[in-house]
Structure 1
Amino acid sequence: MKINTQFRLLILGIVLIPILTISAQGILWLMQQHTIESISVPSYEEIAPLFDNEIERDEWEEIIRRIPHSQPEMNIMILLKDLTVIYSTAYGLEPGDTLTPNELVTLLDVGNDQYGYFIEAPGWLRDVGAFFLIRIDRSIARPPSPIVIVIKTLFVVLIVLFLFSVAMSFIIARSITKSVMVLENATRRIAAGELDLAVDVKGSNEITSLTTSLNQMRLALKEEETRRARFIMGVTHDLKTPLALIKGYAEAIGDGVADDPASRAHSVEIIATKVDQLEGMIDDLIDFVRVDTGEWRRNLDHVHIAAFLTSYTKRIADDADLLNRRVETAIDIPGNVVIPMDERLALRAIENLVNNAIRYTKPGGLITIKGYLKNNAVVIDVCDDGPGIDAEDISRIFDAFYRGSSSRREQGMGFGLTVVKGVAESHGWEISVESEKGKGSCFRLTLPYEPDPSRRMNPRTSGHDDTRKGAGY
């Protein structure tokens, strides 16, 4: 049972117990009143002859109204001056009976130890020539006074409330303690590294529901541990490849295998190429870690996106020309549009997309870079006319170390597009891809744009000439 439900039951019990107890006491009182023998009150027509028709109807109704309420221990009789009974709740005396003085004395003397008698003659009764004779049976206990009844009822309520509160407090405390012990045990197991054992969830309340979250955290930690192990293995494997080639050619030069100038020059060129490739891999790895840890947020600036893209496309056009690729650009973004970003990581993401397009485009191929506004967002398209991406690869091309069927022989660690996705998601941007086999691919970055000038703080116009290129994608 939920702890919240248990507390609600406790509060409900505290409210209902007094109500139910008082209601029960009232019902018992009503039942007691119902058990009192009904008093048969004679009608005016029956008693009028006893008064020799000298009593009016309204006078008799006033007498009836003023007759004291009968109690179990009390008998009430109304007698005329001639001792004629006109009203009686005593056994053996009926209205119309007439007592002699001796019978009255005998009535008062018999059982004097058991009965007590009172004679009263209020003015309103004396006016019609009658008086009350009240007999009280001492053997019947008188009902308690209303004050005593209230005190007893309150005492019962307090006792019941105390017992109920103790019982509910014990149940709630036991539930909380048991749940906390389960949670503590689960936490200790996870802290000890027992990620393969599922946390046993017992009961169902707000605390044990945390155990379900703890189980999800355990699975996430296990998945993260597996991912890190796979990450380390992938990085180690991909870094060893260029290092092995560098070591091999360096040993060839050192051992004199490459003894002629042409061989040594060729070996040095390959070593330099592999060093550049290794440097690019390390840069990719650093960017990947920065995005993964959120360190990039320390360098968040407001950048004029039009100048940023224009500066980059001018440089990449020259680089593509050296590789016999054609680059067409179309930047249609107002100069006052400012986007908050880590400029270095944003540049890295766009470089990765463009270098990826250059890599998979044949000599003479076309790469198109577009920038424009659409639906309150800056859209950057990087398209190529390369071989395209297989349909089964599109859903996984942003995964670390994954390489599609057309890129298995390419150099690099497979971090390029992973870094692009990480940069996009960490900035709150969107990255998508459309590709048609044999016709090319188009990657799209969507950057939400706030046209409110008050949000454009400390804008920076990009004009750097960073010529670094990503090595592996």
Structure 2
Amino acid sequence: MKIKKQISLLITGIIVIPTLCMILFPIYRHYSSPHIALKKKYEEARQKNIAGLSENDWNKIQSYISKIPPEIQFLIFCNSKIAFSTISDLGKESFSNPKELFDFLQASNDSCNYQIQSFFLDQAEKISEYGTHRNKGFIVNRFDSGPKNSMKRIPRFMMHVFIFVLMFEVMSITFIILIAKSVSNSIEIIQKATRKIANGELETRIEISGRRNSNEILQLTEDLERMRKALKENMERRSRFIMGISHDLRTPVALIKGYSEAVSDGVVKSVDDIKKSVSIINTKAGQLESMINDLINYIKMNNIEWKKTLRPVELKSFLLDFSANMECTAELYKRNVSYSIDIENQTVLMDKNLFSRALENIYGNALRYTGDGDSIFLSARKNSLGKIEISISDTGVGIPEKDLEKVFELFFRASNSRRENGMGIGLSVVKAIIDSHGWNIDVKSKPGSGTTFTITLC
């Protein structure tokens, strides 16, 4: 369960349960109170009225019931009848005079104390053959005596409150312990994973996020796993970077060193041979400088500072100018170049020089991997989603399917380009430029049928 959900449930319980109890306990206390039972019993006795009491008499009894404590049992005796009683021992007994009643009560329970008091009722006045006399009704109160019954005097609802508070405390403490244990275990697992990464153990996959009872902290392992992969890829990329530089720079450096030593050692003596050697040295130095510039430009693409140079550029005019330059170059290489710019002349934020470099790199590859008479086509249009797509396609040799996923990797050179000069940086620079603008680039190709690079402006 999520830690947030656990804490939410705990807070909800702490707030809702006491609130409900504050509402329900008074209701429960009211409906379970002895006065409710007394009221129901009083209504039944009043309806039967076996003692023949008046309405005024019953009102007096009701007033008495409302004042008497619930733990005291009592009965009202009048006209040789028990008008109302809460003493359970009586059952359905009947008594012809008060003495029989007193004898029965004393015999039935000797652990109780009794209290007798007069109770004047209207129907207690009787007319006999000897004249008028006033016969009073009376009340017998009975209550438990002795310490053994002292606990009975504690209100029942207080016991319920005590039990609830105890259960609530146990529940709260249990939840807190479980949450604390969950957080502690999760942090311990994360610490072990980060320690492995810090120690350079990047080969071991981190698989924790899918385990049972996963929470927000354990889900951080997904980010750790991505970080581990990124670090591993960076280390592998750095190794390839160093190996690529070493390999591609070794050849021109070796040639420069060899021809310069030949000239200085006098191995090359004639003026023509010296000029030829110097020319080769100069060509390789230029090639070396070009390689170094490519590396510098690639590194710059990973620096966000250049984004401050973004300016609004009229895209249609920009693409028309670039297409015109394509046509001029195509004449020298004997290629057929055409274009279709089917977009409105809207402005787009870009670094004009960098985007020109990206298009030139793609176009340069198209020239390199096409032959005399092949075609190169540039198009710009809006797709079904309303986004602008810029495509450069050719009818050249194409790229093998196994190489398509790697064409944008640094120093990668497809199998059909091994004989061409270059370090495999050009398309990496293109990818870096496009990504840095927040755009997308895709490539589709089929060996023998050509290649299409598509840039989507987001």
TM-score (norm 1): 0.74
Deviation at 1:286, TM superposition (A): 2.0
1:374 partner letter: K
Q: 1:374 is matched with which residue?
A: 382
1:377: how far off?
4.4
Q: Which residue of 1 aligns with 2:284?
A: 274
Superposition pairs of residues 14-33 of structure 1, within 5 angstroms: 14=14, 15-16=16-17, 19=20, 26=28, 30=32
Deviation at 1:356, TM superposition (A): 0.9
Q: CA–CA distance in 1 between the matches of 2:350 and 2:72?
A: 97
Shift in Å, 1:163: 4.3
Q: Do structure 1's residue 250 and structure 2's residue 257 form an aligned pair?
A: no
Residue from 355, 358, 367 that aligns with 2:367:
358
Report the 3-state secondary structure (helix = DSSP H, G, I; strand = E; otherwise coil) of the residue aligned with 1:193. coil
User: Structure 2: which amino acid aligns with 1:3?
Assistant: I
Q: With CA pairs under 8 Å and 6+ residues apart, which has the higher RCO, 1 or 2? A: 1
Work out the CA distance in 2 between the residues paired with 1:109 and 1:360: 123
SS in 1 for 2:406: coil
Cα gap change, 1:415 to 1:42, in 2 (>3 Å):
closer
Q: Which residue of 2 aligns with 1:192?
A: 199
Contact residue 367 and residue 382 of structure 1 kept, 8 A? no
| Greater shift in the superposed pair: 403-412 or 126-135 | 126-135
Measured at CA, do residues 402 and 200 of structure 1 come closer, stay the same or move farther in structure 2, by a change above 3 Å? closer
1:451 maps to none
Say whether 1:8 aligns with 2:8. Answer: yes
Give the unaligned 5+ runs of structure 1. Answer: 449-473
Counterparts in 2 of 1:234 and 1:62: CA distance versus 1, 3 Å = same
Q: How many residues align?
A: 435
Aligned pairs (5 A) from 1:2-401? 2-14=2-14, 15-16=16-17, 19=20, 26=28, 30=32, 47=50, 68=65, 73-80=72-79, 83=80, 89=87, 91=89, 97-99=95-97, 114-123=112-121, 126=124, 131-139=137-145, 141=149, 154=161, 157-199=164-206, 201=208, 204-322=214-332, 324-326=333-335, 328-330=337-339, 332=341, 336-362=345-371, 364-375=372-383, 376-401=386-411
Q: Structure 1 residues 67 and 277, CA, compared in 2 at 3 Å: closer, same or farther?
A: same
Among the aligned pairs, what percent are the same residue?
Answer: 33
CA RMSD, Structure 1 to Structure 2 (Å)? 4.4
Higher mean C-alpha displacement, 108-117 vs 224-233: 108-117
Quick check: 1:325–1:358 contact (8 Å CA) kept in 2?
no
Q: Deviations over 1:51-98 (max 9, x none)?
A: 6xxx78x78987887784896652313222xx4555554756966532
Per-residue CA deviations over 1:206-242 (Å, capped at 9, x if unaligned) read: 2222234223312221122112211221122112122
By how many angstroms is 1:302 displaced? 1.8
2: distance between equivalents of 1:166 and 1:405?
A: 67
Question: More helix per residue: 1 or 2?
Answer: 2
SS in 2 for 1:259: coil
Moved more, 306-315 or 65-74: 65-74
Gaps of 5+ in 2: 127-134
Q: Is the 8 A contact 2:366 2:394 kept in 1?
A: yes
Greater shift in the superposed pair: 105-114 or 336-345: 105-114
Shift of 1:289: 1.7
SS of 1:283 mapped into structure 2:
helix
